Chain A
Amino acid sequence: MDSENVIDIQNLSHRYKTHQALSGVSFTVQRQSIHGFVGPNGAGKTTTLKILATLLKPQGSALAQPSDARCTSVQVFGQHIVTQCNNVRRRMGFMPDHFSMYRQMSVFEYLDFFGAAYGLGQAQRDKIIGDVLTLTDMAGRRDDLISGLSRGMQQRVSLARVLVHDPDLLLLDEPASGLDPRARIELMEILEELRRLGKTIFISSHILSELATLCDHVTILDRGTVKYTGSMRGLIATSDGTTATYQLTLAAEHPPTSAALAQLPGMQSVTPPLPNEARYTLTFDRAQLPLNTILQTVLAAGGPIVSFAEDVKHLNQAFMDLTEPGVGG
């Protein structure tokens, strides 16, 4: 197995009585990456996460080697999740899509409990609980009862619980669902920080644009089959070929800049901004026109740049193109 891969799933299928939840799912997750796992409701995301978290046993010959393409293989850190499940569990933290908490405990008691359950000594627990409370910005709430915390704070405590045994891999099942925009942004910031600390994060969501700025890689699942797995950039390339769309925001409307941009070879269109809004939509051939050329042109024309970012709407379009309409059965 490639040591860069933390998760390696080959040909995974899962069936619930009359419903085929997963059919031949294969993908890998690279070390120290944030890997988005996206799909509409009922796509099979939670089933895959539960199998990775060792809550569900993979069906079929799950003990095969990953090299055997015909057989099911699910490996985490190169270890079989069935035969070496305790080793896998020690190195992995799973956050389910619901609040799974002891509401009558205080924040500290809750984290201390899970630290001890993972076999950490008292001194080790004290240190790590202090660290994770600081990381999740909950240090001031350590003696509060969980039942009295807001949803966003409970989500932070859940994340702190997942981190308390210092796992290398985090499996997060729709961690941002039900959070207000501010709490979502703060959660994403914490995840960025965790990546910097060397964690591998596998995060599911049914909204691709939510993960667009966060993830390096993404796997799109629909009705139990993988529709796309690879880099975020590759996803856009898949959907539009070589065409890219970016949003350029200036401090004020600047006609010389738009004129200069329209002259560039490979530039397909420069959409004029809306009244009172100096935001241009640039569509161009990615192979023919590098991003730095565009930026140099704007600066040369004296355009007061505020921001320059890829159009997120395209991710949503890619998602719509890859997935089928209706709810997956």
Chain B
Amino acid sequence: MTSPLLALFARSLREDTRLKLTYFARSGLVTVILIFMLMVDSSGGMGTGQGLGFFGTVIYVDLVFILLAGCGYFASAITEEKEEMTLGLLRMTNLNPLSILLGKSTSRLCGALLLLVAQLPFTMLAVTLGGISLGQIAAAYCTLGAFLIFLANLALLASVLCQRSAGAAALTIGALLLFFAVVPLLNWIAHLPAQFGLITEDAAWVVALEQVAEFAWKASPFTRISEVLATGFNDRAFGWQAASNLALGAGCFLLAWLGFDRFCEERPEGDPRRGVGRRRFLRSLRAGRVWQRALAWKDFYFLTGGKVWVLGKFLIYGLPLVVMACWPERLGGPPRLEAFGFMTMVIAWWVLTFELAFIAASIFKTERQGQTLSTLAVLPMSLRRIAWQKLTGTLPTLIPAASYFLIGALCASKTILEALKHFPAEKEGFSILLGFAYAGGQCVVFLYLTANLSLRLKRGALPLALGIQFLVQMFVPAMFMAMASAEGGLVLAVFATVVAIGFLHHNTFGRLEALAAEE
């Protein structure tokens, strides 16, 4: 293990072994599994098929966490060195690109695989609950393991190609979307010319595209898991999905290795005036001078991209809506105004959520990374006011998505007004309002949690916050409902949400003060 090739890899494994967090993560995962088991036990005793339900839940939770880890944990393997400008130092040593890749990414992959192995003895108990066999458990873990290897190496490739962790995470998400959406997309593309009557359905390239779509369908872990968890499964544990995922993972690793020198070379210290001429146009779109609310100005231009990016978002978000509105009659025509409005609202809502999550994850993280918290903390204003000013600077970036949401609401106004007119009064209406309050409160909890974690973790705050929120939503509402009546449970859940917001608010500012003093 002393060869230069494995030096970094061995060091990373040793560091992981010494980290308390490694053991907390494993214990946490096992605790979650035991809670699942407890829930299965309390809900229906040890009846037939309980094991399948329990095991299915665990496997899908694992799959969600693997997806989140791919976007956060694995995608920052190389970019974190680029951001901290330490990649050059690594390359000055005897380490070649292969050893850096093995050390930075494969060690993380080993850690994640060990997390899966750690839960194996506990999930084996599912066999005793009934409805599932050892063969199915082995096949499911083969599926997860192979997908994990593929995703880790896909994220590694993105990390090599991109300069920033956020870019690498976005590229990984984009590639994954392409991977999962490739089936319907290719099918749709393949049949598009035939629908226009340009070619026949059995044209060679249509068939070829259909075959690619078939490959993608079979390579998807979701497809494989649903097959594995079906009653009567008796296939081999190591199937086509595992083989194809491993092959894709190896391909991504190979590409990362080949592209390492090209994309990870040290950027020379350039002329400090660089980009001044090139960005003259962009700068002309800037306000130029700092606003009186200086922190808002800074975050508007340097965190969210400024006016240029707001204009860009109007175009980017508007494009799919224009396509939807101008959909050709031959392909079914555009949706009705009301349906168009609701679709726009849903898309804009998701975009808003994503943007808010990004803001929460980066609003303090950038200050922490740049070690600028101490200079902000000595300004003659409280940290709360500083945070508020920073937040107001990020809000204009939400204008495009919010505008499209309002446009959608206007298009669907007839149905919305109708629904409001028939809003149930008294008890039922109160419950619905409580439900909305709980949902809104949980959104705020999620944003606070993301911001708080970004002050504690070097990477992966957003995926971890998503994971925690996912688990909380699985257990907490059910727990409150079990403690009281439906309405009483909701009141308790809203109360707990308010307490959580208060705690996170206080804790986040406490952490900010501590970090400013630590710098």
Q: Do A and B come from one complex?
A: yes
Number of B positions contacting A (CB below 8 A): 32
Q: Please, which residues of chain B bring their CB within 8 A of the CB of A144?
A: 272-273
Q: Within the assembled complex, what's the spacing in Å between the Cα atoms of A144 and B272?
A: 5
Q: Within the assembled complex, what's the spacing in Å between the Cα atoms of A141 and B371?
A: 23
Query: How far apart are B166's CB and chain A's nearest CB, in angstroms?
Result: 14
A55, A141, A149: which contacts B517 (Cβ < 8 A)? A55
Query: How far apart are B378's CB and chain A's nearest CB, in angstroms?
Result: 5
Query: How far apart are A86's CB and chain B's nearest CB, in angstroms?
Result: 4
Query: How far apart are B246's CB and chain A's nearest CB, in angstroms?
Result: 41
Q: Please, which residues of chain A bring their CB within 8 A of the CB of B370?
A: 100-103
Q: Mark A80-120, 1 if CB is under 8 A from B, else 0.
A: 00000011011010101011111111000100111111110
Q: Please, which residues of chain A bring their CB within 8 A of the CB of B276?
A: 143
B293, B380, B516, B519: which contacts A118 (Cβ < 8 A)? B380
Q: Please, which residues of chain B bring their CB within 8 A of the CB of A161?
A: 375
Q: Are B297 and A116 in contact, CB atoms less than 8 angstroms apart?
A: yes
A96, A117, A143, A149: which contacts B379 (Cβ < 8 A)? A117
Q: Please, which residues of chain A bring their CB within 8 A of the CB of B519?
A: 96, 98, 100
On whether A116 and B292 interact (CB within 8 A), knowing A55-B377, A99-B371, the answer reads: yes
Query: How far apart are A319's CB and chain B's nearest CB, in angstroms?
Result: 27
Q: Please, which residues of chain A bring their CB within 8 A of the CB of B376?
A: 117
Q: Please, which residues of chain A bring their CB within 8 A of the CB of B292?
A: 116
Q: Are A112 and B295 in contact, CB atoms less than 8 angstroms apart?
A: no
Q: CB within 8 Å of B: which of A69-89? A: 86-87, 89
Q: Are A86 and B274 in contact, CB atoms less than 8 angstroms apart?
A: no
Query: How far apart are B516's CB and chain A's nearest CB, in angstroms?
Result: 6
Q: Please, which residues of chain B bring their CB within 8 A of the CB of A56?
A: 517
Q: Are A112 and B290 in contact, CB atoms less than 8 angstroms apart?
A: yes
State whether the Cβ of B202 lies closer than 8 Å to any Cβ in chain A. no
Query: How far apart are B299's CB and chain A's nearest CB, in angstroms?
Result: 11
State whether the Cβ of B325 lies closer than 8 Å to any Cβ in chain A. no
B272, B294, B516: which contacts A149 (Cβ < 8 A)? B272
Q: Mark A105-142, 1 if CB is under 8 A from B, else 0.
A: 10001001111111100100100000000000000010
Q: Within the assembled complex, what's the spacing in Å between the Cα atoms of A115 and B380?
A: 12
Query: How far apart are B440's CB and chain A's nearest CB, in angstroms?
Result: 32
Q: Are B294 and A96 in contact, CB atoms less than 8 angstroms apart?
A: no
Query: How far apart are B442's CB and chain A's nearest CB, in angstroms?
Result: 34
A87, A102, A147: which contacts B298 (Cβ < 8 A)? A102
Q: Are B371 and A100 in contact, CB atoms less than 8 angstroms apart?
A: yes
State whether the Cβ of B329 lies closer than 8 Å to any Cβ in chain A. no
Q: Are B290 and A109 in contact, CB atoms less than 8 angstroms apart?
A: yes
Q: Please, which residues of chain A bring their CB within 8 A of the CB of B375?
A: 94, 96, 100, 114, 161
Q: Within the assembled complex, what's the spacing in Å between the Cα atoms of A141 and B273?
A: 9
Q: Please, which residues of chain A bring their CB within 8 A of the CB of B377?
A: 54-55
Most buried by B among A103, A104, A109, A122: A109
State whether the Cβ of B381 lies closer than 8 Å to any Cβ in chain A. yes
Q: Are A89 and B272 in contact, CB atoms less than 8 angstroms apart?
A: no
Q: Mark A144-185, 1 if CB is under 8 A from B, else 0.
A: 110111000000000001000000000000000000000000
Q: Are A117 and B371 in contact, CB atoms less than 8 angstroms apart?
A: no
Q: Within the assembled complex, what's the spacing in Å between the Cα atoms of A112 and B271?
A: 22
B270, B293, B297, B298: which contacts A148 (Cβ < 8 A)? B270
State whether the Cβ of A53 lies closer than 8 Å to any Cβ in chain B. yes
Q: Within the assembled complex, what's the spacing in Å between the Cα atoms of A112 and B375?
A: 14
Q: B269: nearest residue on chain A (CB-CB)?
A: A148
Q: Please, which residues of chain A bring their CB within 8 A of the CB of B371?
A: 96, 98-100
Q: Within the assembled complex, what's the spacing in Å between the Cα atoms of A21 and B62?
A: 46
Q: Are B378 and A113 in contact, CB atoms less than 8 angstroms apart?
A: no
State whether the Cβ of B196 lies closer than 8 Å to any Cβ in chain A. no
State whether the Cβ of A254 lies closer than 8 Å to any Cβ in chain B. no
Q: Please, which residues of chain B bring their CB within 8 A of the CB of A314?
A: none
A53, A98, A119: which contacts B380 (Cβ < 8 A)? A119
Q: Are A122 and B289 in contact, CB atoms less than 8 angstroms apart?
A: yes
Q: Please, which residues of chain B bring their CB within 8 A of the CB of A105?
A: 302
Q: Are A113 and B294 in contact, CB atoms less than 8 angstroms apart?
A: yes
State whether the Cβ of B281 lies closer than 8 Å to any Cβ in chain A. no
Q: Within the assembled complex, what's the spacing in Å between the Cα atoms of A117 and B519?
A: 20
Q: B376: nearest residue on chain A (CB-CB)?
A: A117
Q: Are A89 and B379 in contact, CB atoms less than 8 angstroms apart?
A: yes
Q: B302: nearest residue on chain A (CB-CB)?
A: A104
State whether the Cβ of B205 lies closer than 8 Å to any Cβ in chain A. no
Q: Please, which residues of chain B bring their CB within 8 A of the CB of A104?
A: 302
Q: Please, which residues of chain B bring their CB within 8 A of the CB of A147?
A: 272
Query: How far apart are B307's CB and chain A's nearest CB, in angstroms?
Result: 15
State whether the Cβ of A50 lies closer than 8 Å to any Cβ in chain B. yes
Q: Are B517 and A116 in contact, CB atoms less than 8 angstroms apart?
A: no
On whether A86 and B273 interact (CB within 8 A), knowing A109-B290, A113-B294, the answer reads: no
Q: Are B297 and A100 in contact, CB atoms less than 8 angstroms apart?
A: no
B273, B289, B381, B517: which contacts A143 (Cβ < 8 A)? B273
Q: Please, which residues of chain A bring their CB within 8 A of the CB of B374?
A: 53, 55, 94, 96, 100
Q: A115: nearest residue on chain B (CB-CB)?
A: B290
State whether the Cβ of B372 lies closer than 8 Å to any Cβ in chain A. yes
Q: Please, which residues of chain A bring their CB within 8 A of the CB of B302?
A: 102, 104-105
State whether the Cβ of B275 lies closer than 8 Å to any Cβ in chain A. yes
Query: How far apart are A95's CB and chain B's nearest CB, in angstroms?
Result: 9
Q: Are B379 and A148 in contact, CB atoms less than 8 angstroms apart?
A: no
State whether the Cβ of B24 lies closer than 8 Å to any Cβ in chain A. no
Query: How far apart are B514's CB and chain A's nearest CB, in angstroms?
Result: 10
Q: Are A148 and B272 in contact, CB atoms less than 8 angstroms apart?
A: yes
Q: Within the assembled complex, what's the spacing in Å between the Cα atoms of A112 and B291?
A: 9
* Top 5 A-B pairs, shortest CB-CB distance: A148-B272, A116-B294, A144-B272, A117-B294, A89-B380
List 9 extra interface pairs beyond A100-B370, A116-B293, CB under 8 A: A87-B380, A98-B519, A101-B370, A102-B298, A116-B290, A116-B291, A117-B294, A145-B273, A148-B274
- Report which B residues bind A (CB closer than 8 A): 269-276, 289-295, 297-298, 302, 370-372, 374-381, 516-517, 519
Can you list 28 contacts pairing A with B, beta carbon distance less than 8 Å? A53-B378, A54-B377, A54-B378, A55-B377, A55-B516, A55-B517, A56-B517, A86-B380, A86-B381, A87-B380, A89-B380, A94-B374, A94-B378, A100-B374, A100-B519, A109-B290, A113-B290, A114-B375, A115-B290, A116-B292, A117-B379, A118-B380, A143-B273, A144-B273, A148-B269, A148-B271, A148-B274, A149-B272
